[in-house]
Amino acid sequence: MTKTWAVLHDRNARLFLTAVTVSGFGTSALWLVSGIWVKDLTGSDGLAALCMLAMWAPTLAGPLLGALADRVPRKPLLIGGSLLPAALLPVLFAVDSPDRVWLVLTVLFVYGAAGVVHDAAESALVAGAVAPSLLGGFNGLRMAVAEGMKLVAPLAGAGLYALQGGPGVALLDAITFLLAALLYAGLRIRQSRPDPVTPPTSTESEGEPSRRTPVGAGTRHIWAHPILRPLVLAGGTTMLFAGLNGALIYAVIDGLGHSPAYASALYAAQGAGSVAVGLVSGPALRRLGERRFAAYGIALTAVAAGLRAIPSDPLALACSAAIGAGLPCVLIAALTAVQRETPDALLGRAVATAHTLMYTPNVLGLAAGAALVELVDQRPLSALLGVAWLATAVPLFQRPASAARIASRSPSDANPA
């Protein structure tokens, strides 16, 4: 825990984490309330589900949107990425009837796009503002904060919605973004001015990347890198299986003989597991390296998902906590590796690309799981899922020779996988 305290003693890290806490509270509250609001206005489950799709869809354009974080000064971009939703959310005060639901979906879409740019700028800025030795601990604490907000904020948002309606929650979220912008303004960061956006020269294309390299340079960097590619691919596969597993949750609850409301207990246990692993991820990353940390997390998640085939309340809660602890490991490891192994000029694009590659499969998994659970009994499906998921971890336990050679040449890579 020494390094965790070191992260908290770093001024920039504290400001980042406080901003994430504040804005994450508002985002988690709006995430729940937007669907409830649209459902109340229209009575449509489909339109309510579109709220989540509207917020998620811009992630598909991650490599393109992430390029902004490489071509615009990142601190102003981070501040602007907080001020934009703060200015946009009050538009929702005009939503008072079903024919204005399009405003909710439009605002959520822009909100999601701003979030993609914001996350890319933040991750890239953190890599230069926080000591490299603290990056793993910072990313773990960031995950713990985000998961902690998911435990608290939806309940607070639902309570505020009952009292003030959707506009009240939108105002709360806008205020949290204003506070986050003030916190980001307090960051002490030196950043060189980005190069003008011009086509790369042949020398730049073949040698060191610059901010003028094409949008797809971040994707090519990840794909060609022997450390990053397996981690990001493992993250995407893990999130695909996480989507499948998530789609089975109500079938698991039926097997336990509970009402759907029991899902809140399972989600709370999962959130607690994620908070716990976030607090210890820094020391674990230093001891194990990114690859083994990710592999152990995937293995834990796979075993827990498979054990959901056994109908038992205590086991179901323990499995949810284990999934919550194991699932973030590969995401934290992959992001930390991207930050350490990517040149600054490509970092925004690389981070956004990694997010797209890792999080998009989750939606595909949810869709596939929703279809499969209607056709196959949950118990054998959970058991098969656990075995397939476990196989994802196997390659990460093997350290490729090329990765070892890169690690030996790079003094900044203190924790090779």
Q: Which pLDDT belongs to residue 319? A: 94
Neighbours of 87 (CB within 10 A): 12
181 pLDDT band, cuts 50/70/90, is very high
List C-alpha distances in Å: 98 to 45, 89, 158. 13, 18, 20
Q: How far apart (Å, rounded) are the C-alpha atoms in residues 415 and 410?
A: 11
Q: How far apart (Å, rounded) are the C-alpha atoms in residues 280 and 228?
A: 22
Q: Which pLDDT belongs to residue 34? A: 84
What CATH architecture applies to the domain 1-187?
Up-down Bundle (1.20)
pTM of the full predicted structure? 0.76
Q: What is the pLDDT of residues 196-230, one digit of tens each?
A: 444 444 334 444 454 455 657 778 889 899 999 99
Average pLDDT over residues 389-412: 64
pLDDT > 80? residue 193? no
Q: Which helix (H) or strand (E) holds 204?
A: helix 202-206
Closest CA to 66 of 87, 55, 81: 81
Q: Classify burial at 143, counting beta carbons within 10 Å of its beta carbon; exposed 0-12, middle 13-18, buried 19 or more.
A: buried
Q: Which pLDDT belongs to residue 45? A: 67
Same topology between domain 1-187 and domain 213-405: yes
Average pLDDT over residues 373-382: 86
Closest CA to 23 of 79, 67, 97: 79
pLDDT above 70: percentage of residues in the chain: 87
Check residue 215 and report its DSSP letter: T
Q: Which pLDDT belongs to residue 232? A: 94
pLDDT > 60? residue 256? yes
411 pLDDT band, cuts 50/70/90, is very low
pLDDT > 80? residue 399? no
Closest CA to 34 of 225, 169, 141, 132: 169
Q: What is the dihedral of CA 237, 243, 246, 251, to 10 degrees?
A: -100
Neighbours of 114 (CB within 10 A): 20
pLDDT > 80? residue 370? no
In CATH terms, the superfamily for domain 213-405 is MFS general substrate transporter like domains (1.20.1250.20)
Closest CA to 180 of 316, 78, 35, 257: 78
312 contact partners, CB below 8 Å, separation of at least 6: 256
Average pLDDT over residues 304-322: 93
Average pLDDT over residues 278-291: 88
* In the chain, domain spans: 1-187, 213-405
Among 79-88, 142-151, 194-203, 244-253, the minimum mean pLDDT is found in: 194-203
Q: Which two tokens stand for residue 285?
A: 């990353």
Q: What is the pLDDT of residues 325-344, one digit of tens each?
A: 999 999 999 999 998 888 88
pLDDT > 80? residue 412? no
Helices 263-307 and 249-256 cross at an angle (nearest 10°) of 100
Query: 164, 29 in Cβ contact below 8 A?
Result: no
Closest CA to 338 of 353, 324, 328, 323: 353
Q: Which amino acid is at 134?
A: L
